[in-house]
Structures are given as C-alpha cells and as structure tokens.
C-alpha cells in the first residue's frame, strides 16, 4: 500500500448551504484513504499565504461533528475573494505558496468554490507544471448561481432553489391578505445567469401559486413595455408577484441597478437595488402599492431548508475529489453528469479545468418562455429533482444546531 502524505483543503467565494457538506466529504475521503494529516486553509488561498492552517482532526474528530458540519451553512473554514496573479516563473506569490505546501508535505490540494476558485486551481496546476511539482490540484464545484460549465449543476444550487421557491410561495400568501392592487418585486441573486431567479417557478404546483413574472438577466427588459403589461394584468388580478434577478439588464445590455464606478476584487461591477428601482418606477407609473423584497444572503445560507439531494451530492463530490487526486489527476474539476433515465440520478466525473475557469453558463434560451417573462417545462424538469428531500434536523434548545465556529 502506498504511504500517503498530507492533504489540504480550502473554501472560497460566496457561502452556500452545501459547501460544508463537500468539506465533510473531502475529510472523510482523505481519512479513509490513509492521509496522515488533513489540513484546512483558513480564509482560502489568502489565508494560506499567511500560513493560517489548521489540523481538521482537532474539530472533525467524531461522527456527530461530521453530521453537524453537513447541516451547517456558510464556509466553515472561512472564505476569500483573492485573485492570483498571472502565472510566470519566479513569481513571489507562487513561490511562497509552494514553499508552504512543501513545508506541510502536501500531496493533494483541494479547493471548493465557484468560477473564480476554479481559476485558482487552473493557475496553481499550471505553475506546478512549470516548476515540475508533483502536487495535485483538484477543484470541487460550489456556487448557488449554478453557472459553471460542463457540470449538470453545482452543489449549493438545489438548496438555494428550494429556499427561493418556498419564499415565493409564502410571499404570494402574504400579498393576498388585503383587497387592493399591489405589485411585489422579489430580488434574487444572479448577476449574468438567472438560474436562481428561475427557481421561483418551482413555487407553483398543485397546492401553491407562484410568481406571475420571472425576469432573467439572459433577456433584456423593455421597462416601459413591461409596465404596460403589468397594467393590463392588474385589470383582472389584484396582487402581482415579480421575481427578478439582481443582474437584470435593459435592452442595451446595461445592468438596471449598476453602481457606477464600484467593482469587487475580481473586477465585477457592483450591483444594488434592482427590486427597489423597479418597485419605485412601477408605483410612479401605475399608482399602485408596491413592495421590494430582497432575499439577499438568506438564499445562500438557509440550512433549515437544505435539499437532501443537494447535501448528499455535495458530500459525494468532495469524497470523490480525493479519489481523483489519488488516481493522479490534477488541474481538473469534479462535475455531475445526469443519467438520462428516470428516476433522477447523477454520476461524478472530472474534466480539464480549462473547460471551466472563467466561463459562465447561462440558462438555455429554449428553456425561457417566448415572451421572456418565465421559464418552460424543460427548466422545471431539470430543476425539480435538485430540490427534493429534507435532512433531519439536529436541534438544540428549539433551533437547528450547527458545528461550532472556528476561532
């Protein structure tokens, strides 16, 4: 039997309700595979550069903590939004990273994250090739935005979609309390891809009503034309629910809520207030009651509404990421391939990281309604299996328990 060295794992980007289940999967996979130490990076690659490294055996030392970790939202190890520089020889940042990895005798490096995190895996694996390092770099996908290419879907999306659909159903109930004309605009995360906003369509079933309009960033909005359609709709229905992506664009491709001049660490323009802007505009034009509801961070860290399918798959893809590294793979991202037969199932495979890094996957146009105000049955069939099942809660003093935060 080959004697294993050590494994290190980090989390990056925005938190989700499933990212810690992937961490639990990585830890379990590493322990079962005989790694001497399983280290965690505090605050991702940025923390690694400061050598903020912990031994995960100190906290994940029993089955209860593993189960709690799977049910704990957000990033247990902490996160970052740090962009590595361009890969080139004798770069001080990369030299420091690889010195630290050598110091801790790392055999496999696993990074759990979204698009920008996969860029980190690409750059580290490219630098490893440049210097002849045998450390293997594996990306485990995570993003509520569901916008990574190659993979059928991403861990975190199913739980967020479940939460959004539930919220929409409850907002519909709330909006119908009073006998008056109203428009409620619900803002949902999604900069360039509308997967989360499209999940509003899942609220509608044989028992519940859903959103009346779903506005996606894939389709430019003619605002004045839409207000006329709203006016017509209000003539025969009192209360209208509009689900809207934060990244909604006008017909010229400009973000409706773009914050001029402000960008994040990766150069993305900052967005704010799409629902508030639309609600104010609609009220001014139609003289009806309007409300702006911004779900915001709740949709990405609502562990009380985790999808069991999502959590189980997140654990599995983390577990199998370790196996891929042991098999000698590097510069890859693990991904889900959906089996075509019913009932729903998926298998985990790996792909070249170059097929993923810095590429966004949007909703196919053929899944969006012809008028651009909703989604077709193809999307419903795709998304519904991902929100299925509920995890049993581990409760303390009447509320769901989480694993204690790291100091």
In the chain, where the domains are located: 6-155+303-359+389-400, 158-300
Residue 294 pLDDT > 90? yes
Mean pLDDT of 69-84: 95
Q: Give the three-class secondary structure for 345.
A: coil
The predicted-structure confidence for 111-155, as pLDDT tens digits, reads as follows: 999 999 999 999 999 999 999 999 999 999 999 999 999 999 999
Reported confidence tier of residue 21, pLDDT bands at 50, 70, 90: very high
Does residue 204 contact residue 262 with C-beta atoms inside 8 Å?
no
The pLDDT, as a whole number, for residue 354 is 96
Residue 272 pLDDT > 70? no
Mean pLDDT of 297-322: 95
- Whole-number Å distance between alpha carbons of 163 and 171: 12
Q: What percent of the chain has pLDDT over 90?
A: 87
CATH of domain 6-155+303-359+389-400: 3.40.50.450
3-state helix, strand, coil split of the chain in percent (to 5) is: 40, 20, 40
- Whole-number Å distance between alpha carbons of 387 and 385: 6
Reported confidence tier of residue 5, pLDDT bands at 50, 70, 90: very high
- Whole-number Å distance between alpha carbons of 248 and 254: 8
Residue 398 pLDDT > 70? yes
The pLDDT, as a whole number, for residue 80 is 95
Tell me which H or E stretch contains 99.
helix 92-103
Helices (H) and strands (E) in the chain, counts: 11, 15
Reported confidence tier of residue 159, pLDDT bands at 50, 70, 90: very high
Candidate list 145, 147, 212, 312, residue with the active-site label = 145
Reported confidence tier of residue 206, pLDDT bands at 50, 70, 90: confident
Does residue 49 contact residue 93 with C-beta atoms inside 8 Å?
yes
Does residue 52 contact residue 24 with C-beta atoms inside 8 Å?
no
Reported confidence tier of residue 267, pLDDT bands at 50, 70, 90: low
- Cβ burial 15-48 (10 Å sphere, 16+ → b, else e): bbbbbbbbbbbbbbbbbebebebbbbbbbbbbbb
The pLDDT, as a whole number, for residue 348 is 98
The pLDDT, as a whole number, for residue 260 is 53
Q: Which has more pLDDT, 309 or 342? A: 309
Mean pLDDT of 213-225: 97
Q: Which has more pLDDT, 259 or 45? A: 45
Does residue 170 contact residue 305 with C-beta atoms inside 8 Å?
no
The pLDDT, as a whole number, for residue 265 is 54
Task: Name the phi and psi angles at 82, rounded to 5.
Answer: -110, 125
Which positions ≥6 away from 336 have C-beta within 8 Å? 151, 152, 153, 313, 317, 346, 347, 348, 349
Residue 269 pLDDT > 70? no
Q: Residue 196 corresponds to which tokens in the numbers above?
A: 């989360």
Whether the ω angle into residue 4 lies within 30 degrees of 0, i.e. cis, is: no
User: 3-class secondary structure for 187-244?
Assistant: EECCCCCCHHHHHHHHHCCCCCCCCCEEECCCCCECHHHHHHHHHHHHCCCCEEEEEE
Q: Residue 136 corresponds to which tokens in the numbers above?
A: 């293997």
- Whole-number Å distance between alpha carbons of 289 and 181: 6
Question: Is 145 known to be catalytic?
Answer: yes
| Within this chain, domains 6-155+303-359+389-400 and 158-300 share the same CATH topology | yes
The pLDDT, as a whole number, for residue 266 is 54
Which positions ≥6 away from 315 have C-beta within 8 Å? 21, 22, 24, 25, 28, 70
Rg over CA atoms, the chain: 22
CATH superfamily of 158-300: Phosphofructokinase domain (3.40.50.460)
Closest CA relative to residue 112, chosen from 326, 313, 318, 303: 318
Does residue 299 contact residue 160 with C-beta atoms inside 8 Å?
yes
Q: Tell me the average pLDDT of the chain.
A: 94
How far from chain centre, in Å, is Cα 194?
Answer: 12
Q: Residue 351 corresponds to which tokens in the numbers above?
A: 């792909």
The pLDDT, as a whole number, for residue 268 is 59
Phi-psi region of 111 (alpha: psi -120 to 50; beta: other; left: phi over 0): beta
Q: Which has more pLDDT, 335 or 357? A: 335
Range in 168-172, 193-197, 314-318, 399-403 the model is least confident about: 399-403
- Whole-number Å distance between alpha carbons of 168 and 57: 41
Task: Name the phi and psi angles at 243, rounded to 5.
Answer: -95, 130
Does residue 194 contact residue 250 with C-beta atoms inside 8 Å?
no
Global confidence as pTM: 0.95
The predicted-structure confidence for 228-252, as pLDDT tens digits, reads as follows: 999 999 999 999 999 999 999 999 9
How far lies 257's CA from each of 22, 196, 197, 215, 271, in Å? 33, 18, 16, 14, 6
Whether the ω angle into residue 343 lies within 30 degrees of 0, i.e. cis, is: yes
How far from chain centre, in Å, is Cα 384?
Answer: 17
């Amino acid at each position: 039997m080959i004697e294993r060295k050590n494994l290190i794992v980090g989390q990056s980007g925005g938190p989700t309700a499933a990212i810690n289940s992937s961490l639990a999967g990585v830890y379990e996979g590493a322990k079962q595979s005989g790694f001497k130490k399983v280290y965690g990076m505090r605050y991702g690659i940025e923390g690694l550069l400061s050598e903020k490294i912990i031994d995960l055996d100190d906290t994940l030392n029993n089955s209860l903590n593993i189960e709690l970790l799977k049910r704990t939202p957000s990033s247990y190890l902490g996160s970052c939004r740090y962009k590595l520089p361009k890969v080139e020889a004798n770069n001080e940042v990369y030299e420091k990273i690889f010195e630290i990895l050598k110091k801790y005798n790392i055999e496999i490096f696993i990074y759990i994250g979204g698009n920008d995190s996969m860029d980190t895996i690409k750059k580290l694996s490219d630098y490893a090739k440049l210097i002849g390092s045998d450390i293997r770099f594996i990306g485990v996908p995570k993003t509520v935005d569901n916008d990574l290419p190659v993979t059928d879907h991403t861990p975190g999306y199913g739980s967020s979609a479940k939460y959004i659909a539930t919220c929409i159903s409850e907002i519909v109930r709330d909006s119908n309390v009073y006998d008056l004309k109203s428009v409620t605009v619900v803002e949902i995360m999604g900069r360039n891809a509308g997967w989360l906003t499209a999940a509003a369509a899942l609220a509608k079933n044989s028992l519940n009503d859903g959103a009346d309009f779903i506005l996606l960033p894939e389709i430019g909005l003619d605002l004045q034309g839409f207000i006329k359609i709203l006016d017509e709709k209000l003539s025969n229905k009192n209360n209208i629910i509009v689900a809207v992506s934060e990244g909604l664009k006008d017909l010229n491709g400009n973000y409706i809520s773009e914050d001029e001049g402000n960008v994040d660490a990766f150069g993305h323009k900052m967005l704010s207030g799409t629902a508030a802007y639309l609600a104010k505009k609609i009220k001014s034009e139609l003289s009806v009651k309007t409300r702006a509801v911004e779900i915001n961070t709740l949709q990405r860290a609502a562990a009380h509404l985790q999808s069991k399918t999502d959590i189980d798959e997140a654990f599995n893809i983390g577990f199998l990421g370790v196996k891929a590294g042991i098999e000698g793979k590097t510069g890859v991202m693990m991904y889900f391939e959906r089996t075509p037969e019913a009932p729903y199932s998926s298998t985990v495979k790996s792909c070249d990281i170059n097929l993923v890094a810095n590429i966004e996957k949007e909703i196919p146009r053929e899944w969006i309604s012809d008028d651009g105000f909703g989604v077709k049955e193809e999307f419903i069939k795709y998304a519904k299996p991902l929100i299925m099942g509920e995890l049993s809660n581990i409760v303390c003093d009447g509320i769901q328990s989480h694993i204690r935060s790291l100091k």
